[in-house]
Amino acid sequence: MTEAAAHSIRPAGKDALDEAAAILRTGGLVAFPTETVYGLGADATNDRAVAAIFEAKGRPRFNPLIVHLPAAAALEGIAEVDRRAQDVAARFWPGPLSLVLPRAKASPVSLLCSAGLDSLAVRVPAHPVAMQLLLRVGRPLAAPSANRSGRVSPTRASHVAESLGAEVSLILDGGPCPIGLESTVLDLSGKEPVLLRPGAVTREELEAVVGQLRDPEADGPHKSPGRLKSHYAPRLPLRLNAKAVGPDEALLAFGPTPPSGAAMTLNLSPEADLQEAAANLFAYLRALDRPDLTAIAAMTVPEESLGVAINDRLTRAAAR
């Protein structure tokens, strides 16, 4: 960033949305809420603005960005839409699903968003603030999660301020994100559909529309850089499948009967509700990441529906 602007957090009312749109149209960065996590937005057609995202996040250049649109119809001229893409878009948009599609020939979207690939990730978010912002700006918005690269995604405006406060002049506050996990990423750029990142739209729901999904492992790391193993890392080591816990540890609990004895315990969902657990995950990981403790011990979450995405994030947070 050329200037170290002091951030301001503003409730996402009409005036704040107007100001945000003006900042974005002149190449600035604005953080805004979506139904998944807060995004760090920039005009996707402005190379310098997109580059500023990478700079603000300290993100490796090879990690491409998701471009947000107000409707599937806005894909015209931006990315190639085949029958499969049409079908999943009709079924799940607006919603927590990103599609990786071939770039259109003369796509106005910055090549930086594709980070060297010939594809582009796009989604239509289901959040009134994100939607109003997209409509006001009238341009596609590139928006990765509004955290420093490799750190947990922000699900509240205050998380953005903690992580990127100096890099972003305006943070639109729309309250806590209802889903709290990043979008499902489905790669439709090749012949077979590939699930690159699990999320709130599940494998089963997608397979009902596009048929069997291939796993990304076969593609190697170059194809899905977001699956770098250590990606959602708190500072403390994370211990998985915890059944007991020590007095120097923080416990990320799940369900009605967590073990006792931790220095601090936060329960993702005492009722074992996976949706509630997903919405709490990143906020709790942050709160438990205390420098005076030795580790975060995480209890097992069932490997079903949203639990798949939760375990994916936990496994990566544990990898180092």
Q: Report the interface residues with ligand TXA, using CB under 6 A.
A: 34, 36-37, 39, 63-66, 98, 100, 114, 117, 119-121, 125, 143-145, 182-183, 185, 196-197, 224-226
C-beta of 100 vs 301, nearer to ligand TXA: 100
36 touches, from ligand TXA, Mg ion, none (C-beta below 5 to 8 Å by class): ligand TXA
C-beta of 98 vs 169, nearer to ligand TXA: 98
C-beta of 145 vs 163, nearer to Mg ion: 145
C-beta of 249 vs 289, nearer to Mg ion: 289
143 touches, from Mg ion, ligand TXA, none (C-beta below 5 to 8 Å by class): ligand TXA
Residue 72 per-residue DSSP state: G
CB atoms near residue 225 (< 10 Å): 18
Identity of residue 2? T
Q: Facing residues of 172 across strands?
A: 10
285 touches, from Mg ion, ligand TXA, none (C-beta below 5 to 8 Å by class): none
Cα–Cα distance, 182 to 231 (Å, whole number):
13
- Name the closest residue to Mg ion (Cβ): 145
Q: State whether residue 30 is helix, strand or coil.
A: strand
Least distance to ligand TXA, CB of residue 117, Å: 5
C-beta of 110 vs 267, nearer to ligand TXA: 110
Cα–Cα distance, 210 to 142 (Å, whole number):
26
Contact status, residue 318 vs residue 312, Cβ threshold 8 Å: no
C-beta of 47 vs 300, nearer to ligand TXA: 47
Which residues are at the interface with Mg ion (CB under 5 A)?
145
Cα–Cα distance, 74 to 163 (Å, whole number):
31
| β 38-43/264-267 pair status | unpaired
161 touches, from Mg ion, ligand TXA, none (C-beta below 5 to 8 Å by class): none
Length of the chain: 320
Contact status, residue 136 vs residue 18, Cβ threshold 8 Å: yes
Least distance to ligand TXA, CB of residue 136, Å: 17
225 touches, from Mg ion, ligand TXA, none (C-beta below 5 to 8 Å by class): ligand TXA
C-beta of 35 vs 249, nearer to Mg ion: 35
Least distance to ligand TXA, CB of residue 224, Å: 5
202 CA to centre of own chain:
15
Cα–Cα distance, 188 to 190 (Å, whole number):
6
Determine phi and psi for 134, rounding to 5 degrees. -60, -40
269 touches, from ligand TXA, Mg ion, none (C-beta below 5 to 8 Å by class): none
Helices 14-25 and 128-137 sit at what angle, rounded to 10 degrees? 50
171 touches, from ligand TXA, Mg ion, none (C-beta below 5 to 8 Å by class): none
Least distance to ligand TXA, CB of residue 37, Å: 5
Least distance to ligand TXA, CB of residue 49, Å: 15
Q: State whether residue 10 is helix, strand or coil.
A: strand
Least distance to ligand TXA, CB of residue 175, Å: 15
Contact status, residue 232 vs residue 313, Cβ threshold 8 Å: yes
Least distance to Mg ion, CB of residue 192, Å: 25
